[in-house]
Amino acid sequence: MQSEAPSAVTSRPVYAPIIIDSCSDNDVFICENLMSEQMQSLYLKSKCPAKTALCITSDDTDIAVDGVAEKPIKFQKISDFLGSLPSLVKPMTLRSRVYLEGSEPFMWRLYGMFLAQGMVAEQINMQSPVSNKRSLFCTHCFSVTDDVTTTVAPCSGCGRLLHVSDHFSKRHAAYFCYQVNAEDPNDVPQVQELT
Amino acid sequence: MRVAPKPVQSFRDDFTYSNSDEAIERFPFPFVEDEYRYSVNIESHTPKGGTDSIYEHFIDIDEHYLSEMAERAIVLEENPRRCLSMGHMALAGWDFLERMMVSLSTDYPQYFSLRRDKDQWHWENTLLDIQQDFVFGDESTLPMSPLDYMGRQVQGDFALLDQRDNDLFMDAGMITCPADWSLAFDAGMSFSEWHGPVPMAHSAGIFDRALKYLTAIPIGSPARRLNWTLTVNARMDTSPEKYPDWGHERTTVTAENVAQKVYLRVELQIMDRMPRSNALLFVIRTYLISLEDIATNPEWAKRMHRAMKTLPQPLIDYKGLTRYHHLVVDYLAQFDR
Amino acid sequence: MSADKIQVKVTRIVDVAPKIKEFTLVGVNRTLPEFSPGSHVMVEMQGQEKTYRNAYSLLNDALDSSEYRIAVRLQDESRGGSVYMHQSVKEGDVLSVTPPMNLFAPLWHAKKHLIFAGGVGITPFMSYIPEFLRQGVNCELHYMFRGLQTGAYQEVLQQELKTTLFIYDADKEQRCDIKEVLKCQPLGTHVYICGPEKLVEGVEQAAIELGIPLSVIHSEAFAAPKPGTPFKVEIKSTGQVVQVGEQDTMLEALETAGLAIPNLCRAGVCGQCSCAVEQGDLDHRDNYLSDSEKSLGAMVMPCVSRANSERIILDI
Ligand code: HEM
Ligand code: FES
């Protein structure tokens, strides 16, 4: 069994339970794929005069959610969403809040987008990641490999076998990775599931 | 007499790098106690040790100047992203250029000269045979950005930290000889984030304290500290970027070659406030010395033996010494009897 | 380690408000260091009985550091420095200043700057605004004062900011509804406050009530350090007893008594002046020690902190 102890590397994000901010004037809820029950209940708790629910999913399934009055707006890809971001944030103020749900790289990519719009970290709330998927930053070729769940994983750019560390960059929404067998080509540790 | 820059030696392939007797004598030996532990080892960066000491001037230019500049040119040619600067750091780049040009031309008039007439500046670097007329503040009058331009003419790596919210952010730099960290990856991080992988120091409160000190550094009162690690072969560029090229060298250390192959790598780190931008300049001036050369000073060898022997395992692993640490301790033991 | 002092000559003194004088300073036989918007210098004044050290913001556009301009308000509860500046300093006099230091720089990536200034608290913003205008970033200033005492630089500000300058003269019963101003600020706004503590607290309180994150609120507590009651410091190693008057800081008193305490910021952030405490009830006013260290009471930062008890013993 893996221990549940938080990583010793302090750049690894920790996720605190979300509390709905009752002063907000504009709440935006964004989910990767379907909205979880937990997120639905947060959505219902928000008494905000303006609130929006969004799902970003490549899936064709219906995203209607019981109990959430308006059907969430659906986007196929993050890049589609990016186009509508300026009009979404236009009415937002220093009082507004964003709530994110999904995998860790998904949430941090959106985090970067909202930061670029002028939001500050305290306005952006993240659920604990829904999966152990990580994005890897290869320090040798600088490419980012998505959807990795194991350490010792091949880089999608240069093909090297990478060790996945816990050193995290918010800007890259990815973890620091380096060739696992650079010192000794025959010394490749066993593949392990990431936590 | 300070030894003049020697002809170019290499930090890769055939590793022709060597230290003269004078360079060995003035080496910044970092172990002040028999046990090495992380601490907030910051002091004011004022001259000490007299003429020709590495602490005589703001930036120490030594016999390896030409070699280090040649090495840096190779690294940047291969990967220009080893130098980066975010949009809001442009002014800090000019601060950096000014600080370096003024201090080098004042401290080493035989090599560098600067003439200023308001914004019209003329810079000469006789060591690299460079002459440049430019308008201060106008990037189009320089062949490249001020950080890139001047970074290629000064020994040491450089980071420019933006200061906001009582924190520092890694928003610009030129890092061509790091002790295994990547500027491209750490870009934009806060002080505590980029120090994320360092073991033991966070919980000891070292980084919180250090940060409070750094954010309060005023103009004209630079501070310094020493940091160290070990490197196999006289390799300057021990970056993650090039790790596939140098990682295997860690397996080549043997009891027979340890004295020649393993180098103590010391970083003289200088922190200085930039006046126009309020950025903090972080200089990492790296010195390499083989164990063999350390052993020419029995006191050093003895002290280093003790420091190596008592080094906590998390530090051994973090610094990447796991494969050959015991060989270093065994070799140095003969000087501590 | 303390930064090298700079000798400056006072070349001009002008009244810019009933209780505020502006001083122009130039370097004596040297050029002055460059500085960044929001910087201050510590001015050292050699009074008859004691040396005063007060921090003043630099007023001029940071592009031109050929001179420094500072503005001094005559304080009612003065520690003495402002009285000295107003009554004793004449054109041609020489003072000494520290190199500029900046603990209140604007956030360059902000999309809008929203400023609340109270009285002489306008001073740090005088160097912000020209740079904001050059960068073409939106800037809005709410300027509160008592016209019978303060309210300097209204004309310049009017020219610079035009429709984004809002003036409130309390002597004409004009008040600023802070909450209303904060209510609809767009994303990317950063808020700066300089003025009396009441103003800082008022803005912070309004922000909390509105759910505005405090990380966008930046303040320079401009009021001179609150004086405290006098107390005595005993030096454990020598038995020497040093009296700290209500107008002095503990650090100044120790220095005057001939004790050299390393110091840097003199503002309770750098940690340089840290002294071990043997005994005594402390009034910690620094930002260096953690809360737990403060409650432990084993260390004190004499540059800002004081004693609640009549006597404390320092282990130095
Ligand atoms: C703003 C200035 C500074 C910069 C840019 C900087 C940068 C770095 C970086 C990039 C690393 C490597 C982290 C990694 O493994 O990825 C590091 C390591 C470290 N830093 Fe800093 N640092 C600064 C100031 C300081 C100060 C003032 C201290 C004082 C205690 C300090 C203590 C350390 C220590 C103990 C390590 C581990 C080094 C080792 O064991 O080899 N740093 N620093
Ligand atoms: S001098 Fe900086 S904390 Fe006292």
Q: Does B297 touch chain C (CB under 8 A)?
A: no
Concatenate the DSSP letters of all residues of B235-257 into one string. -S-B-STTHHHHGGGGG---TTT
Q: Does B205 touch chain A (CB under 8 A)?
A: no
By percentage, how much of chain C surpasses pLDDT 90? 76
Which residue puts its alpha carbon closest to atom 37 of ligand 1?
Answer: B198
Distance between first and last Cα of chain C: 17
pLDDT at residue B184 greater than cutoff 90: yes
- Superfamily of chain region C6-97: Translation factors (2.40.30.10)
Closest ligand, as measured to the CA of B178: 1
Q: Which residue of B43, B212, B215, B224 is the best one to mutate when testing the C interface, meaning the one whose CB has the most C CBs within 10 A? A: B212
* Arithmetic mean of pLDDT, B206-220: 86
Q: Where are the domains of chain B?
A: 21-83+155-335
Residue B162's CB is within 10 A of a number of other CB atoms, namely: 23
Mean pLDDT score across all residues of chain C: 91
Q: Where are the domains of chain C?
A: 6-97, 112-221, 231-314
Q: How would CATH label the architecture of C231-314?
A: Roll (3.10)
Lookup: tokens for C6: 């700079």
Q: Which residue of the set B225, B276, B323, B337 is catalytic?
A: B225
- Chain A residues touching C210 at Cβ < 8 A: 23, 94-95
By percentage, how much of chain B surpasses pLDDT 90? 86
Inter-chain touch A94–C212, beta carbons under 8 Å: yes
Inter-chain touch B276–C36, beta carbons under 8 Å: yes
Q: Does B247 touch chain A (CB under 8 A)?
A: yes
CA distances B38 to A143, C132, C218, Å, are: 34, 42, 33
Burial of B117 (0-12, 13-18, 19+ CB in 10 A): exposed
Fold (CATH) for C112-221: Rossmann fold (3.40.50)
Task: Tell me which of C261, C301, C316 to substitute to probe ligand 2's pocket, judged by most ligand atoms within 8 Å of the beta carbon.
Answer: C301
Q: Where are the domains of chain A?
A: 27-126, 134-179
Nearest Cα to Cα of residue B216 among C104, C6, C58: C104
- Chain C residues touching B275 at Cβ < 8 A: 33-36, 100
Which residue puts its alpha carbon closest to atom 36 of ligand 1?
Answer: B198
User: Of ligand 1's atoms, which has the minimum distance to the CA of residue A167?
Assistant: 16
* Arithmetic mean of pLDDT, A142-153: 96
Q: Name which of A50-59, B289-298, C141-150, C294-303 the model is least confident about.
A: A50-59
- For C193-214, write each residue's pLDDT tens digit: 999 989 999 999 999 999 999 9
Residue C176 CA, ligand 2 centroid: distance in Å: 36
Nearest to A182 among B186, B192, B244 (CB): B244
Task: Tell me which of C263, C282, C300, C314 to substitute to probe ligand 2's pocket, judged by most ligand atoms within 8 Å of the beta carbon.
Answer: C263
Least Cα separation, residue B43 to chain A (angstroms): 26
Q: How would CATH label the architecture of A27-126?
A: 3-Layer(aba) Sandwich (3.40)
For residue B129, give every residue at least 6 positions away whose Cβ sits within 8 Å of its Cβ, in sequence order, or none: none
Burial of C76 (0-12, 13-18, 19+ CB in 10 A): exposed
pLDDT at residue C127 greater than cutoff 80: yes
- For A1-54, write each residue's pLDDT tens digit: 333 346 789 999 999 999 998 899 999 999 998 889 999 999 999 999 899 999
pLDDT at residue B328 greater than cutoff 80: yes
Inter-chain touch A23–C210, beta carbons under 8 Å: yes
* Arithmetic mean of pLDDT, C89-98: 94
Q: Does C216 touch chain A (CB under 8 A)?
A: yes
